[in-house]
Each structure stands twice: as structure tokens, then as C-alpha cells.
Amino acid sequence: MIDEELTVSILCITYNHEKFIAEAIQSFLMQKTNFKYEIIIGDDCSTDKTQSIIKLYAETCPGKIKLIASTTNLGTHKNLINCIAECRGKYIALCEGDDYWTNEYKLQKQVDFLENNAEFVICCHYHKVINAGNKTLYVHPNPTPLIHTYADLLAGKQEETKTATVVYRNIPETTQVFSTPWFFECFAGDKMFKLWATHNTGGKIYVMPEVMSCYRRHEGGVWSMINAKARMEMVISDFNLIIKNFTYSAIAKKKLLLLYIKRYLLFELQNKRFRKAYDTLKYLL
């Protein structure tokens, strides 16, 4: 239930992030805003000291941080959904436990934008990619404003919309995706969410031309431990979920076919996934 006095719910899911979770929480607490916000952290039964670190911060900031602690390992999707159910803010800001924010006015800037631009359902910004040793691996040299529509996302365009950059409207039209059965079959839940939110509302995504968060690549990361072949299989699986669960025009269908041929067909054939390739091509032809 939305609390009219609460503007933002910061939603953080975490698992075995004892080396990083304090930095994430500190980046939440440093936010300077003219509105109230809460911090919801879902720990998915970590086996390290992650949960004890969260509890220490929660005790230090009573009423500000709420820990949702799983007694068994639920997986990313269920952990996320449990946390969303606890979010009472008008907007939800996302950041996983191994990432963090770098600008103390990040939330204020994004909320101000969404408050003044009803045609946008999500506000993002540029980000920096670092490794476990805090070495910069990527940062855009010249950030410029970006706008992504549903058609853009459908065509695979989602530049500078990493999870730790996202602030979105907490409305049924965006959160309904988490109750669809096929959501639990996808691998890139963030991509499916952005597609759903723009498709279901007709709204757009705005990317602010500022670097305001860090995305960390490390051995414990969800995607970092997956080899290239397995990762491609996951991406193709998600592609098939998209073409079967979203609506699109005949022109968009042709673009999806070309996208599949360009990005995925050769991989399918090289790995003798002939039946899977046939089924996808048949669906799009």
C-alpha cells in the first residue's frame, strides 16, 4: 500500500555481499532530498556476514532501514518480489547489494524529473563499471540525454539503464509483471521489467546525462560466473519469452526476425540447436 507521505522506496536485493553491502547502504543514506524515503533490503539467506552488517545499519538508523530476511535461498526473482510487496513509496529506486550510488542528489534529480514529466515511466542515468578492486572498466566519455521507447527496448536498445540507475513509478501497470508466470522463466528480470513498464503504460525511459552510480563486476556477481556459451543461451531464451509474451506490429516483427538472424542464429546453428532455431524462425515468419 502506497504511503502518501513517503516518496521513494529504495529497494536493494543482496546475497553474500559482505564486502560491498556497507558501501551500498552508505550511498543510500547519503541522499539529500526534500522528501521522505525508506530503504528495503532483501537478503536471500546469505551465508556470509551480509545480514549482520545490514542489521547493524538498521539498528543505527531506526525506522529508516527494513530488512527482509529469507530463511531459505529463494533466488533473485522471488527475493525481489518479496521486497516490492513491502515498498510503500510513490517511486521505487533499485540498487543491488554489490553496486552503489555516487551522487548525493541522485534521487532528488530523478524524482524531480518524473514529477514534471508524466510521459516517462522510468528515469535512469549513466553509470560507471568497476571491478572488485575499484578499477574503472567503463564509463561513457560524453554523456548525453537518451530516451528509450518500448520499440527501442524491443529492438534490444537499452543503453545506460543498469539496475542501479533505475527509478520507476510504483503503480500496478509497472508491478503487474512480477505476477506473470513467465517472469519466473526469464533470466534478465530487469530487461523484462523495462519492456513491461513501457509496453503496459505507453511511457518512455529517460536517461539523465550524468554518471551517478557504479556497477561492479566481480566473481560473486550473478552474471560474472557464467561462461559465454551459457550466457548466450540465457539471452536467447529471454528473446523467445519476449516474442511470445509481448505484442508488436508487423514491422516490429520483421525487425525482431532480423535481430534474431543477426545476433543469435549462427550461435544456434554452431551449437546444433536446430530445433530451437526452427521454432523461433517459424514464430517470427
- Cα dihedral across residues 223, 226, 228, 233: positive or negative: negative
Q: Is residue 223 part of a domain?
A: no
Q: Is residue 107 part of a domain?
A: yes
Angle at 216 between CA 262 and CA 210, to 5 degrees: 80
Is residue 151 within 8 A of residue 251, CB to CB? The reply is no
Residue 223, pLDDT score: 57
Cα(223)–Cα(228) distance, integer angstroms: 10
CA distances from 35 to 32, 66, 91 (A): 9, 18, 12
Query: 81: domain range?
Result: 8-217
Q: How many domains does the chain have?
A: 2
Residue 3, pLDDT score: 76
- Tell me the average pLDDT across 168-185: 95
Asked if residue 177 has pLDDT above 60, the reply is yes
Cα(243)–Cα(120) distance, integer angstroms: 24
Q: Is residue 2 part of a domain?
A: no
Asked if residue 154 has pLDDT above 80, the reply is yes
Domain final residue, candidates 195, 217, 239: 217
Residue 130, pLDDT score: 93
pLDDT band at 115 (very low <50, low <70, confident <90, very high): very high
On whether both 207 and 252 belong to a single domain, the answer is: no
Q: What is the tens place of the pLDDT at every residue in 21-67? A: 999 999 999 999 999 999 999 999 999 999 999 999 999 998 899 99
Is residue 124 within 8 A of residue 208, CB to CB? The reply is yes
Is residue 87 within 8 A of residue 168, CB to CB? The reply is no
Is residue 22 within 8 A of residue 54, CB to CB? The reply is no
Residue 8, pLDDT score: 98
On whether both 20 and 54 belong to a single domain, the answer is: yes
Domain final residue, candidates 162, 194, 217: 217
**Region of residue 59 (phi > 0: left; psi between -120 and 50: alpha; otherwise: beta):** alpha
Domain final residue, candidates 183, 217, 251: 217
On whether both 100 and 241 belong to a single domain, the answer is: no
- What does the block give as the cell for 142? 560524453
On whether both 123 and 234 belong to a single domain, the answer is: no
Cα(116)–Cα(108) distance, integer angstroms: 12
